[in-house]
Structure 1
């Protein structure tokens, strides 16, 4: 089936649909504040299936390389392994001792197996968020500090370019990534949005190195060229698109998670999982290196 317009992909309505990944021929996502890890098929609309339910917020997951069914998760105040069977296993405690109550938010693996996870304060204190880098066998590193609500990051196919959003500030910056170490350099402004546009939330790059951005509060997803010019906008029947990924058999189906949290009057599609077909394919989901046992 071809989807020429945004289509509701599930009858479920999520509080905060985030962390979308196309992994092993299925779509995986989280209902962040509810701590739920979910999956669904990509070839036809189907109800969401619950894989895990945690008692803490679950920001996002990445599949672990060479360990089928295992996930590395930004959850609660740190990073945790969700094995295929058995209980979650803590890997790193990152923000439990922060001066303000803080939780993990968006996260992703890069093409070199590192796991990048952002934190934010519950009160959305300006500067209270951090992007952490976790490399297998090494201590976690605060890679970018002074953020408010970090979202993404998104990496190109080589893992040498990273985009990072700070949602309430309307900012997306671009960094150069050392492929050997993960060290960041060359930070530059990529995009500055007005409040009327919505806040940049979930992001993904496609095979043409164009950046897709979910605009929280803007009822839209946009595609930007590498020079920062707008290429396309897709209007949505939901106010708060939060997470996106390109999936399906040919990676040309754009899946969009939305949210109903914080809305005084949620519309019928707020919190829905949406899908629309696009002409350029996405990139395969990167897998995180296995953490030390």
Structure 2
């Protein structure tokens, strides 16, 4: 497999850019700590466009099936729906009242139309985080606990396996998932990292797993059997989120936490790759897959 060099997209430098995906031909992403949902205009030298702004952190969104410009979001201490006017409708706030201050982090929809979102302590307290699953009826259920900084998740095309990174532990685990019930089974360790932390992830059409590696300035691809395939260097220290749209890999990065950020820290990048991605899954509200 070969890949091109990274190209900078749009004029913004984000504090904590993550949750990038392509929905109906439009690139959307978040700047977590500022609570902004953003879209990338066709002019790749222009600033990003703000679609919604929340008064609390916004970890990631997924589109709502059949409802253009509606989103389900991991935000603040829970899960909400965001209407086109930017107004949030809260489904649940499961991290309200936690022993340590918590926020939602990365999230995605699975191929069956459920929404999965991780939580973490602001201070990344060990074991304080959880993974939540939102069903078609809007019920939010904690399915995993004891996590520290959950990132991903990412699903195989048939939804029978889920990859979940615990960034603070430097590990990606692969969980079997019952596609009908959405219940995860006992995980295997898929990959471990000695340098940098696995962050956002996506699965491609060959079943390969891509992950941004925070702190290492790289993106890694693994084959479906866990064999390392390649690394792509980026001119930013903290790659955070990524997605595939055809043969284009989009990667977000972050300036947050850097004492002397460089000119491209916080930028969004694209890289040409050989294997296309899977379609962006949507949350299916009130129905089944």
Question: TM-score normalized by structure 2?
Answer: 0.95
User: Cα distance, 1:88 vs. partner?
Assistant: 1.3
User: Cα distance, 1:281 vs. partner?
Assistant: 0.3
Given the superposition, is the C-alpha separation of residues 47 and 266 from structure 1 closer, same or farther in structure 2, using an over 3 Å criterion? same
User: Cα distance, 1:83 vs. partner?
Assistant: 0.9
Select which of 251, 254, 258 maps to 1:263. 258
User: Cα distance, 1:45 vs. partner?
Assistant: 4.9
User: Cα distance, 1:47 vs. partner?
Assistant: 2.5
Whether 1:206 and 2:204 are equivalent positions in the alignment is yes
Question: TM-score normalized by structure 1?
Answer: 0.94
Alignment of structure 1 residues 40-51 onto 2, 5 Å: 40-41=40-41, 44-51=44-51
**SS of aligned partner of 1:184:** coil
Aligned to 2:100: 100
Structure 1: stretches of 5+ with no match in the other structure: none
Aligned to 1:218: 216
Q: Is the 8 A contact 1:25 1:42 kept in 2?
A: no
Structure 2: stretches of 5+ with no match in the other structure: none
Q: Is the 8 A contact 1:106 1:152 kept in 2?
A: yes
User: Cα distance, 1:94 vs. partner?
Assistant: 1.3
CA RMSD of aligned residues (A): 1.5
Q: Is the 8 A contact 1:91 1:291 kept in 2?
A: no
Q: Is the 8 A contact 1:13 1:271 kept in 2?
A: yes
Whether 1:252 and 2:239 are equivalent positions in the alignment is no
User: Cα distance, 1:178 vs. partner?
Assistant: 0.5
Partners in 2 of 1:38 and 1:124 — Cα distance?
25
Alignment of structure 1 residues 140-289 onto 2, 5 Å: 140-194=140-194, 196=195, 198-247=196-245, 251-289=246-284
User: Cα distance, 1:85 vs. partner?
Assistant: 2.9
Whether 1:31 and 2:31 are equivalent positions in the alignment is yes
Q: Is the 8 A contact 2:13 2:265 kept in 1?
A: yes
Q: How many equivalent pairs are there?
A: 285
Partners in 1 of 2:78 and 2:97 — Cα distance?
11
Q: Is the 8 A contact 2:249 2:271 kept in 1?
A: yes
